[in-house]
Structure 1
Amino acid sequence: MPPHSPRPADTLDDDDYPAYTMGRAADMLGTTAAFLRALGENRLITPLRSDGGHRRYSRYQLRIAARARELVDRGTKIEDACRIVILEDQLEEAQRINAEYRRAAESGNPQAAASR
């Protein structure tokens, strides 16, 4: 194994490791490869590529795709579902940052959060 490659044991718990082929990802989500390609076209997820050029998906990407599928299954157009999921993700990140600032301010060290 080349020195820059992660060891297999290191990748088991890595949500960002692109472990799943397109076919496997589609099976796990109960959807099609075309649906996954559409998510990529709408810039919701960007799968990494294997050395052979095949799309590979991480667990994190599959969670995002599953949320988009929930919305599409309820009648939301795929383009709109992708936008909703992106906005939900941005909101979650903003809330996380606000919570960090709040904790830092409550601890009397607002500079700790400001340095982020």
Structure 2
Amino acid sequence: MIQRETPAPDNRHRRTEGPVRTCIGCRKRELAVDLLRVVAVSNGNGEWAVTVDPAGNLPRRGAWLHPDDRCLQAAIRRRAFTRALRVTGSPDPTAVVEYLSSAPAHEGQVAKNMSTP
């Protein structure tokens, strides 16, 4: 049996710091820690609302979004929440809009992996 030497895979462009997700607004790939996770929650009458999941532990399918108003507006314009979250109708993104409008208050805070020594 002849063994051939296979070239090593080119890993220059691959990040190994954690999971990579795609922003539903701009469609760019980023590390999950740099993106905001959103999920759809039911209002009980067949309507859906999109809410922010900063801890990353809410049930249901999640979507990822840059914490930037341009990406949010692009996601709304493209109706990306409906497709990414796999819900029927047009979910209400008001909670995400309010969260991003108060984002300067959240800057500098680490939401994940905070532990006391």
TM-score, with length taken from structure 2: 0.26
The structure, 1 or 2, with the larger RCO (C-alpha pairs under 8 Å, 6+ apart) is 2
Q: By percentage of residues, which structure has more strand?
A: 2
